[in-house]
Structure 1
Amino acid sequence: MHANENPEPWPDAVMAELAELVRTVELGRYPDASGRELRELLAARHGCDPARIVLGNGSDEIISLLLTALGGDAEPVLVVPTPSFVMYAHSARVLGYQVREVELDDALELREAELDLALRGATICFFARPNNPTGSLWRADVIERLIAAHPSVVFVIDEAYIAYAPGASLWRADHPEHVVHMGTLSKVGLAALRVGYGIAHPELAHALDKVRHPYNVSQTSLALAHAVLDRFADVQAEMIARAIANRERLATLLGALPGAQVFPSAANLVLVRLPSPERAAALVEMLAGAEILVKNVGHLPKLRGCVRASVGTAAELDHLERVLAHV
């Protein structure tokens, strides 16, 4: 319960059909370099031109492609709220970016004035919404105002967890040209496939393709992802609904710990603050001894004494409940 996957098992009938599909994959052939069929399916879902969609080996590759394509400045600048997904700042530093991190406020919300200042002269900004590791669903009006105020900055709205916040997506087909939408299948039951995607203005999408390695998404991943989205979307929706229900149970279990503060979450994770870093470390260690892995995030800004737990299956939460009964 530490990697923010959706661990709900796929039904046996679906797994059998997917296994048959894998049997048809020509292992001696490279995949379609652009993933055309999957891009067309994603474009139909989002109501946009397939030329705007770029596929990646998970969202991590889309992040790197964006930073690489936009990093031609003498000193490119990334602006990112913190704490947030670590790969934004990590990838930017590897590629020679100056990184301006703007801490969240005490409620783990965006600090608009500080971000507005940091964005002056910046190259790119990432907003994870919902955010990892906090689960926060940052205010849409704040993000929209910052986008409007800084037309020379590329804004990336990372909606990796948006399936767990129904109706909250900021995606619009008519977004300004300097806005990129990012999604992934990793958080909705397909983490093993490593399929992420970005939706950008056609010129930027072309720039991403120019720096993208050929055949970056495997034939097997392309075929299975397409099949799930095309034929088993209803099953996937049921898995997501169960995870949302389990999130509430997880929050209740963690909230019952002595002195615990549970933060609101719109993702498939729950953030809990314990009374001290020592209590947080002890909880992580105790759970690990019971073969339950959660993440101590207390070293991150604003998260002193905090532990992040991913939503588990009903059976995993049953086990967690039994273990926590002894705390």
Structure 2
Amino acid sequence: MISDRIKKLSPYKTETTRAKVRLSSNELPLLLPEDVRKRIGEEVSKIPLNRYPDPKADELREIIAQHLGVKKENLVLGNGSDELIYYLSIAVGEFDRGVFYPIPTFPMYEISARLLGRSRVEVALSEDKDIDLEASIRSIRRFSPILAFISYPNNPTANCFSREKIEKIRQEGLFTVIDEAYFHFSKKTFLKDASSREDTVVLRTLSKIGMAGLRIGILVAKEDIAHEINKMRLPFNITYPSQVIARLMLTEFYHLVENCVSMVIRERERILVELSKIEGIEPYPSDANFILFRSHIDADTLHKELLRRGVLVRNVSHLPTLENCLRVSVGLPEENDAFLEALEDAIRSFI
């Protein structure tokens, strides 16, 4: 009785392998001081767990709106950005119109389209890891998709695509979703477009700024667009603890987030320099909190060798155009040092 489209669906794969140093999931290495943890614990202990949370998460939306410089009516919150991607995949256009996205990119765009039986217009990135505009326009005009997902910066390549190319794709009549999960590390945004245009929304998340466990995604859109998407939101989708902890982190303790983000950006630049010194390793520029690099050694083998040395990174070599590529998250300085040492040692073992 289960639909064939579900049977054919491949689930999103997460990395659960144990390792001393885990640099595979693009999490912010935010370590909370004991007094901060105690303060959070005090507030969480006050939660009436037998009661439903605020269904609109109004207080949290107001705080997030102030951070973004928009009105709370411009916001829809989701249980992670994944939920919002799913809502958009349902809401925009009819299902006989397809979904466009460059590849490789965040797999939830494909999974949501497959789940709904929508056709997928996938166009490989050019050699410089930017959008192949000519091929994209050609495919869009041939297959007439109505919805576009653009990861900005792109995961897993870590770069921001050309803004001009994104705008030209949008001019083809596509409702364009700019997924800015890694905005804090790029500082590049389409936020003004999202709050003023009918054909553009921006996605943000708290997951990449130290609150991945809270599962809070943010959709920014014109009020009328946000209103329509909000109709689809599942009841009480933002849990009581998530609302309470996020409010604290975004008010009393946001300076800790900012300091950690600054540290990651500094470490990112240091790692890029160090990777460029290792023979047989080619790092790509990064606007995110992770780095893509190519190895002259088989990626599966190198991934295993790093894991054998206690360091877990993400193997992305199976993705289009990313042969022999691995992705490493930027961690604490000591974690990054451990990664670089393990990588150099692994490379030497093949000489």
- Matched ranges for 1:312-327 at <5 A: 312-326=331-345, 327=348
Amino acid at match of 1:183: R
User: Are 2:95 and 2:118, in contact at CA under 8 Å, matched by a contact in 1?
Assistant: no
Report the counterpart of residue 118 of structure 1 in structure 2.
Answer: 139
Shift of 1:7: 1.7
Amino acid at match of 2:310: E
Alpha-carbon distance in structure 2 between the residues aligned to 1:5 and 1:76: 34
- Matched ranges for 1:199-218 at <5 A: 199-218=220-239
Report the counterpart of residue 295 of structure 1 in structure 2.
Answer: 314
Residues 1:90 and 2:111 aligned together: yes
- Matched ranges for 1:1-327 at <5 A: 1-70=23-92, 73-120=94-141, 121-147=144-170, 149-151=171-173, 153-166=174-187, 168-172=188-192, 174-276=195-297, 278=298, 280-326=299-345, 327=348
Alpha-carbon distance in structure 1 between the residues aligned to 2:344 and 2:165: 41
Q: Which consecutive unaligned segments of at least 5 residues does structure 2 have?
A: 1-22
Question: More displaced, 233-242 or 37-46?
Answer: 37-46
Q: How many residues align?
A: 321
Tell me the alpha carbon deviations over residues 268-312 of structure 1, each in whole angstroms, 9 at most, x when there is no partner. 101001125x2x222210111122111111111111111111111
User: Are 1:8 and 1:243, in contact at CA under 8 Å, matched by a contact in 2?
Assistant: no
User: Are 2:214 and 2:242, in contact at CA under 8 Å, matched by a contact in 1?
Assistant: yes
Alpha-carbon distance in structure 2 between the residues aligned to 1:74 and 1:244: 40
Alpha-carbon distance in structure 2 between the residues aligned to 1:74 and 1:198: 21
Q: Secondary structure at the match of 1:315?
A: helix
TM-score, normalization by structure 1: 0.93
Shift of 1:74: 4.6
User: Are 1:186 and 1:193, in contact at CA under 8 Å, matched by a contact in 2?
Assistant: yes
User: Are 1:76 and 1:96, in contact at CA under 8 Å, matched by a contact in 2?
Assistant: no
TM-score, normalization by structure 2: 0.87
User: Are 2:278 and 2:344, in contact at CA under 8 Å, matched by a contact in 1?
Assistant: no
User: Are 1:178 and 1:201, in contact at CA under 8 Å, matched by a contact in 2?
Assistant: no
Shift of 1:325: 4.0
Tell me the alpha carbon deviations over residues 130-154 of structure 1, each in whole angstroms, 9 at most, x when there is no partner. 110000111112212332x134x21
User: Are 2:292 and 2:327, in contact at CA under 8 Å, matched by a contact in 1?
Assistant: yes
Q: Which consecutive unaligned segments of at least 5 residues does structure 1 have?
A: none
Shift of 1:12: 2.4
Tell me the alpha carbon deviations over residues 197-256 of structure 1, each in whole angstroms, 9 at most, x when there is no partner. 101222322222222210111010011111111222211100101111121233234333
Alpha-carbon distance in structure 1 between the residues aligned to 2:157 and 2:95: 33
Q: Secondary structure at the match of 1:198?
A: strand
Alpha-carbon distance in structure 1 between the residues aligned to 2:268 and 2:196: 31
Amino acid at match of 2:319: L
Alpha-carbon distance in structure 2 between the residues aligned to 1:109 and 1:321: 27
Shift of 1:40: 1.4
Alpha-carbon distance in structure 2 between the residues aligned to 1:117 and 1:190: 40
Alpha-carbon distance in structure 1 between the residues aligned to 2:139 and 2:76: 28
User: Are 1:59 and 1:182, in contact at CA under 8 Å, matched by a contact in 2?
Assistant: yes
Tell me the alpha carbon deviations over residues 108-144 of structure 1, each in whole angstroms, 9 at most, x when there is no partner. 0011222223334222101111110000111112212
Report the counterpart of residue 15 of structure 2 in structure 1.
Answer: none
Question: More displaced, 282-291 or 249-258?
Answer: 249-258
Q: Secondary structure at the match of 1:229?
A: helix
Amino acid at match of 1:139: S
Q: Secondary structure at the match of 2:227?
A: helix
